[in-house]
Amino acid sequence: MTVLKCIAVDDEPLALKLVETFIYQTPFLQLTASCDNAVEAMSLIREKQPDLVFLDINMPNLTGMELARLLQEQPGQVPKIVFTTAYNHYAIEGYKVNAVDYLLKPFSYEEFLRAANKVLQITEEASNNFQPITSDDEFIFLKVEYQWVRISLKEILYIESLKDYVKVHLDDNQKAILSLISLKALEEKLPSSKFMRVHRSFIVSLDKINAISKNSIFIDKTEITVGEQYKETFKTIVDKWLK
């Protein structure tokens, strides 16, 4: 059984205790830490590397929403987030930071379990979503709906992150492919000699780059901005090309 490591964050002691109790009741959840503020939560997330964070929004100093936005900007694997809040007007903003679900207080164990099951399903589908790629492979299999689709690496222009999905853009006007897998998970399986992550939302095929400007890459007719944390690594590649 897949076990999801969890962190619970809430500045209200009773609300925090309830989430902890619900986690303990759920066989596939494991509580690795809990805290009452988002600043401490940031450190715990870096240390514990949880799969899932149950995160209150309305907290002093740093809100849960602000923490979620900061996590999106960090390199590395971002944990799934389920917001817990007493205010329903945060729902739309929550989905903008890739929250899997949104629990409105007071919520029942049934509602909690439904949200946890959603995270479990996404995690399991993503982990079974591809076959390992060796350096000699010329293709990859991605799960698209209910079938495995073979994609030639040579046909990939770039890969775009869409929340819990990736959109694989192909050459020769082929229809893009949508698959339930995180960009980070796919990045780890692609050969680094052929593909590079240049933005938190984009991986590009190095062979398909048509032009380069100071802060952008051009592939076919698409301009892709190079993210700040990826500029130094990409510059190393460009310097080799220009020698």
What confidence tens digit (pLDDT) does each residue in 4-30 have?
Answer: 999 999 999 999 999 999 999 999 999
Q: Based on C-alpha coordinates, what's the Rg of the chain?
A: 20
What confidence tens digit (pLDDT) does each residue in 38-59 have?
Answer: 999 999 999 999 999 999 998 9
Residues comprising the chain, all counted: 243
Which pLDDT band, with edges at 50, 70 and 90, does 89 fall under? low
Terminal Cα-to-Cα distance of the chain (whole angstroms): 51
Whether 131 has a pLDDT exceeding 70, the answer reads: no
Report, as an integer, the average pLDDT of 87-108.
71
Whether 225 has a pLDDT exceeding 50, the answer reads: yes
Q: Of 154, 194, 151, 201, whose CA–CA distance to 175 is shortest?
A: 151
Which pLDDT band, with edges at 50, 70 and 90, does 94 fall under? very low
The predicted model scores a pTM of 0.56
Residue 155 backbone dihedrals phi, psi, to 5 degrees:
-90, -10
What confidence tens digit (pLDDT) does each residue in 142-163 have?
Answer: 888 777 888 899 999 999 998 7
Position 241 scores a pLDDT of: 77
- What's the rounded Cα separation, in Å, for the pair 23 and 197? 35
Position 182 scores a pLDDT of: 84
Chain-centre distance for alpha carbon 23: 22
